């Protein structure tokens, strides 16, 4: 438990203290955000605000995790390292996207094909690695079974190991792409994606600590309610670091934002959320815990699909938070109300997680 607390505290201090230094660097280099022309007109005042703040979130998370391990004399495990690898890899794709926007002074970064190829390379490599590294108990970080709150028994390897690997890679890449896009779309108002991420990863910190305390590997008399997750304590350390890093960054990202996380941050956090759902065997439960992200990405899907089918719009503008902006809601009002919704979803996810344990324990 001490390592979890240290990771969160160190990441918080580094993020809160490091963000203003990074802001000064970005301002000196004139690395500011470019605003899409078809967005809400109120956003034009944000033009030039420093972006790529996700660099601070990623760095604070990695350093928080490393410091916690050093301070407690523990060695990092495969699951924690894999989760950080996915976070850094997706963040790198986002960084390239942000850098192209800034260097070419436009609101569009990487072209769609390059972004998809980059995400696919990272996603495929990560998915293959996640099925390696069995520990002394023969457990690997990921499982080929689709999971709800734990593995459901629906095994993607039912037709053979080779096909099972392919199906798992496709499933993992779907989750990585979906969550990355969801967090990216949510990052449209000051502090919205940061605060929501803090709540979602906070819920996952509770889950991973519980899984560690109820691990089938460590209990002397494991019952039906124990969890088969390979390294739950390591995952708890990473999630605590992400919460601390997001908390510190939110101080500077809240309205009026002095810095944006950019695609660097949103893709990194989305990738981390996808990886966490896979490594904790909570792939479908993750859609409840991160319910606000799901609602926002679905609003975009519905808007595009309905417009292509009928030529009409369901919302004044998508994603959903822009719809309420055009209805006259203030930015802070939207963000706080959406945080409340995010907290309700995270709480509901925790409730389902605990209720399932009670029912089988």
Residue 29 pLDDT: 80
**Three-class HEC string of 64-82:** HHHHHHHHHCCCCCHHHHH
* pLDDT one digit per residue (tens) for the chain, 361 residues: 899 999 999 999 999 999 999 999 988 887 765 555 555 545 545 666 888 999 999 999 999 999 999 999 999 999 999 999 999 999 999 999 998 888 776 666 677 788 889 999 999 999 999 999 999 888 999 999 999 999 988 887 765 556 778 899 999 999 999 999 999 999 989 999 999 999 999 999 999 999 999 999 887 777 788 999 999 999 999 999 999 999 999 999 998 999 999 999 999 999 999 999 999 999 999 999 999 999 999 999 999 999 998 988 999 998 999 999 999 999 999 999 999 999 999 999 999 999 999 998 6
Exposed, middle or buried: residue 308 (CB in 10 Å: 0-12, 13-18, 19+)? exposed
Residue 164 pLDDT: 78
Q: Record the pTM.
A: 0.93
Find tokens 């990092």 and name the residue.
76
CA distances to 312, 316, 319, 321 from 308, in Å = 8, 15, 16, 21
Residue 30 pLDDT: 78
State the alpha helices, DSSP H only, in the chain.
Answer: 2-28, 54-72, 78-103, 112-130, 161-186, 192-213, 232-253, 262-279, 285-289, 291-310, 320-326, 331-360
Q: How far, in Å, CA of 273 to CA of 239, rounded? A: 9
């Amino acid at each position: 438990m001490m390592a979890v607390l240290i990771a969160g505290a160190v990441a918080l201090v580094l993020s809160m203290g490091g963000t203003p230094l990074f802001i000064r660097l970005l301002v000196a280099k004139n690395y500011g955000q470019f605003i899409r022309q078809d967005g809400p007109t109120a956003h034009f005042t944000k033009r030039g605000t420093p972006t790529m703040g996700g660099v601070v979130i990623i760095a604070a998370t990695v350093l928080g995790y490393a410091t916690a391990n050093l301070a407690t004399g523990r060695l990092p495990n495969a699951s924690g390292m894999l989760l950080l690898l996915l976070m850094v890899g997706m963040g790198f794709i986002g960084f390239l996207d942000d850098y192209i926007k800034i260097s070419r002074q436009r609101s569009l970064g990487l072209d769609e094909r390059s972004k998809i190829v980059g995400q696919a390379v990272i996603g495929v490599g990560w998915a293959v690695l996640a099925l390696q590294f069995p520990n002394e108990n023969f457990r690997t970080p990921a499982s080929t079974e689709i999971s709800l709150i734990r593995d459901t028994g629906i095994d993607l390897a039912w037709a053979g190991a080779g096909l099972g690997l392919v199906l798992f890679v496709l499933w993992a890449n779907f989750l990585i792409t979906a969550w990355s896009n969801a967090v990216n779309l949510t990052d449209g108002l000051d502090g919205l994606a940061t605060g929501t991420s803090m709540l979602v990863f906070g819920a996952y910190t509770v889950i991973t600590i519980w899984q560690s305390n109820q691990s089938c590997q460590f209990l002397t008399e494991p019952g039906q309610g124990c969890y088969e997750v390979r390294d739950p304590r390591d995952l708890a350390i990473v999630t605590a670091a992400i919460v601390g890093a997001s908390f510190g960054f939110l101080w500077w990202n809240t309205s009026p934002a002095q810095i944006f996380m950019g695609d660097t941050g949103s893709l990194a956090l989305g990738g981390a959320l996808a990886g966490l759902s896979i490594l904790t065997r909570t792939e479908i439960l993750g859609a409840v815990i991160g319910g606000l992200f799901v609602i926002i990405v679905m609003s975009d899907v519905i808007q595009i699909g309905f417009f292509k089918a009928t030529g009409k719009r369901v919302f004044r503008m998508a994603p959903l938070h822009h719809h309420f902006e055009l209805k006259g809601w203030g930015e802070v009002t939207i963000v706080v109300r959406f945080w409340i919704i995010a907290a309700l979803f995270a709480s509901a996810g925790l409730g389902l997680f605990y209720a399932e344990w009670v029912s089988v324990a």
